[in-house]
Amino acid sequence: MTAPAASQSPARPQPDRAIQARRRDAAAKAKAVEKALKTLGRTGAPITRAAVARLAGVPRSFTYENEAARAIVTEAQARSQARADGRTVTTTAQQEAS
């Protein structure tokens, strides 16, 4: 008897080039998210995932699914919230003083 045809077929090549291309694409999108966050921070606009995604030209789901983008957005939102909380306390203190 002869061996099955599957064992005689050549090994499937690994999709290394496709994997590298996806990694480069994800890294470029993460850089675009970072740039969008810097722009939003300079303008003082609220930092929302929808605004970041729109400005960066990426799907909003990317800001949730990509680990680097998620961390960058979450950190920026926390900084923005901390600044907003500080302004509220300062404004209230100034209002009470007058």
| Higher-confidence position of 63 and 4 | 63
* DSSP assigned state of 34: H
Question: How many C-beta atoms lie closer than 10 Å to residue 16's C-beta?
Answer: 8
pTM over 0.85: no
Q: How do residues 40-90 score in pLDDT, each as one tens digit?
A: 989 888 899 999 999 999 999 999 999 999 999 999 999 888 776 665 555
C-alpha to C-alpha distance for 48 and 41, rounded to whole angstroms = 11
